Amino acid sequence: MKNKGLGEFEELVLLAVCILDKEAYGLSVKREVEKHSGRSILLGAVHITLYRLQDKGLLRSEMGGNTEKRGDRRKRLFTITDAGMRQLRAAQDVRRKMWQLIPQLKLGL
C-alpha cells in the first residue's frame, strides 16, 4: 500500500485539497481541479478518489458546516495527512529529477 505511486488524477485531487486548505469537500475540489486542468470532471469521480485517498491514509476527513444551498446537509471536509504531504513531495521529486535528466538540446523544443 505505502509505496504505490500516485495516479495523475489522484495527484491533482491531493493538490486541490492542499490549495483549498480546510475548505476542501467534494464539490469545491471538483471546481478547483476543473479550474486548473481545464477539463470537466464528474462529481462521482472526485468522491471516489477522495475516499480512496482516505483509505490509503493520505487524507483525513471530518463532517463540517452546512448551508441552506445544500438542503441543510453537512459537508465532509478533507485535509491532507503527513503521509499525504510526503507522497506529494516524493512525486514532485521524481519529476524534478527526471526533468533534469532530459538532454539540454531537447529542452529548447
Partner 1 sequence: MKQRKNRPPILANWLASKFINEALLEELFGDLKEIYEDRIATKGKFYAKCMYWVDTFHLLIGFGSPQLFKNKPAIMYEHYLNIASRNLMKNKWYSLVNIGGLTVGMGVCLLIFQYTYFELSYDKFHDNFQNTYRIITDKTQNDVDDVFASTTYGIGPTGKETIHEIKEYVRMTPQFGGTIVTNPDKNESFSERNIFYVDTTFLQVFNFPLKLGSKESVFDGMYNIVITQKMAEKYFGAENPMGKPLNLSSKGEGLAVGNYIVSGVLEDLPINSHLQFDFLLSMENYMKLGWWGQIRERDNGWKKSRFVTYITLEESANLDLVHKKLNHLTALYRSEITARENIVEKVRLQPIADVHLKPESYMHSGYVTNYGNIKNVEFFLIIAFFILFIAWVNYINLSTARSMHRAKEVGIRKSIGAFRKQLISQFMMESILVNLTAALLAIGLAFSSLPILSGIIGKELELNILQIPMFWGWFSMVIIFGSLLSGLYPAFVLSSFKPISMLGANKTSRAGNTNLRRGLIVFQFLTSLLLISGTYLVHKQITFMKRQDLGLDIEKVMVFNGPERFLDRSTLEAFTTEVARHHSISGVAASGSLPGDGWSKWNLHKPGETITEGQFATPLGVSLNFPEVYDLEFLAGSSFVQSMSNEDYVVIINEEAVRTFGFGSPENAIRKTLIKPGKETEEYKIIGVVKNFHWLSLREPYGPCLFVLSVEGAGFSYFSFKTNLSDIQESLTHIEKTYKSFFPVDVFDYFFLEDEFNRQYQADLQFGNLFLAFAALAIFIACIGLFALVSFSATSRIKEIGIRKVLGASVNNLMMLLSSEYLMLISIAVVLAIPAILYWGKAWLENYAFRIDIEFDLFIIPALVLVLASIITVSYRTYATAKANPVDSLRKE
Report the SS3 class of residue 23: coil
Alpha carbons 89 and 46: distance in angstroms, whole number: 21
Alpha carbons 37 and 89: distance in angstroms, whole number: 20
69 binds partner 1 (CB under 8 A): yes
74 binds partner 1 (CB under 8 A): yes
Q: How many other CB atoms are found less than 10 A from the CB of residue 16?
A: 23
62 binds partner 1 (CB under 8 A): no
Candidates 36, 44, 85, 94: give the one binding partner 1 (CB under 8 A): 44
Contacting residues toward partner 1, per CB under 8 A = 25-27, 30, 42-45, 47-48, 51, 63, 66-67, 69-71, 73-76
